[in-house]
């Protein structure tokens, strides 16, 4: 049994959020450059130019790429041969978030109650934590700081099996078109298909973390991704019930801030 101190988890989470908030991934950076070259609309070109410049300034000066530094989402793949010692695992993650947002001058955007008082927790906790137990003795931590301009434009729908691939595509396109200019385009669209309602939603968030330009390994899904143009579409899928076809569409702005580390 490998032992990992809770403090190591905390420090890793903190460093990942600090990094992701100022440094956009190389895949996304290059995609913006590539798109700038081919963009036909003058407005579109001006927007892309500002975004590239913005990413340069943020990286150079260690500033937040966007003032909405998001709700902290943490995907944890915990090896079953790992034991976390000297502390509470979930609290270590939240402490990492706290330190990143308080010490790193990131905006605290979390309220304690969604409906009633809505009082700011002042340290951007709690994080949304998804833990999966996997074989091995490693821990993989993936963090994403999810802004709500785009999160608010996300949708979920339970389609009928008969709706099939066309139904999925139409729902994705409809969601993206309705979102229009609101979620800070150019956007990345994460699609989760199958499972149950919450499984589809989690998959759609995971789909956003995939490298830009990397298709789904299943050729049917890769083809569907390629057929839905005008945005970067990543689809993840999972087996589902005979009676259902859940589809979740999670939209992310161009500032898709995520980072990962294996301990």
What number of chain residues touch another protein (CB under 8 A)? 41
Residue 25 touching another protein (CB under 8 A): no
> Cα dihedral sign for 15, 17, 23, 28?
positive
Candidates 114, 135, 181, 219: give the one binding another protein (CB under 8 A).
181
82 backbone φψ class: left, alpha, beta (φ>0; ψ -120 to 50): beta
**Is residue 229 close enough to count as binding another protein by CB under 8 A?**
yes
255 touching another protein, by CB under 8 A:
yes
C-beta of 184 vs 202, nearer to another protein? 184
- Determine, following the binding rule CB under 8 A, whether residue 34 of this chain makes contact with another protein: no
Cα 165 to chain centroid distance, Å, stands at 24
The pairing of beta strand 188-195 with beta strand 245-252:
antiparallel
Q: Pattern of binders to another protein over 106-135, x per CB under 8 A?
A: xx-x----------x---------------
Residues 155 and 190: their CA atoms lie apart, in Å, by: 11
Q: Sign of dihedral through CA atoms 77, 199, 112, 63?
A: positive
Please report, as ranges, the residues that interact with another protein according to CB under 8 A: 40-44, 46-47, 50-51, 53-54, 57-58, 61-69, 105-107, 109, 120, 147, 149, 152, 180-185, 229-230, 253-255
């Amino acid at each position: 049994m490998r032992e990992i101190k809770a403090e190591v988890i905390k420090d890793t989470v903190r460093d990942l959020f600090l990094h992701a908030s100022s440094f956009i991934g190389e895949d996304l950076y290059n995609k913006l450059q590539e798109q700038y070259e081919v963009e036909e609309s003058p407005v579109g070109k001006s927007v892309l130019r500002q975004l590239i410049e913005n990413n340069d300034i943020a990286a150079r000066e260690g500033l937040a790429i966007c003032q909405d530094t998001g709700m902290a989402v943490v995907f944890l793949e915990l090896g079953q041969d790992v034991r976390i010692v000297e502390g509470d695992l979930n609290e270590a993650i939240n402490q990492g978030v706290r330190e990143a947002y308080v010490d790193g001058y990131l905006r605290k955007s979390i309220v304690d109650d969604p409906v009633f008082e809505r009082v700011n927790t002042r340290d951007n906790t709690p994080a949304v934590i998804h833990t999966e137990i996997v074989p091995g003795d490693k821990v993989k931590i993936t963090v994403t700081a999810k802004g709500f301009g785009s999160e608010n434009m996300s949708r979920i729908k339970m389609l009928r099996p008969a709706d099939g691939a066309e139904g999925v595509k139409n729902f994705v396109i409809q969601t993206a078109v309705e979102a229009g200019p609101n979620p800070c385009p150019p956007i990345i669209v994460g699609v989760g298909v199958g499972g149950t309602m919450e499984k589809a939603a989690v998959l759609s968030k995971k789909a956003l973390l995939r490298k830009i330009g990397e298709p789904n390994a299943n050729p049917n899904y890769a083809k569907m991704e390629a057929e839905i143009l005008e945005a970067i579409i990543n689809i993840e899928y999972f087996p589902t019930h005979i009676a259902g076809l859940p589809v979740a569409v999670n939209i992310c702005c161009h500032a898709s801030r995520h980072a990962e580390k294996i301990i």
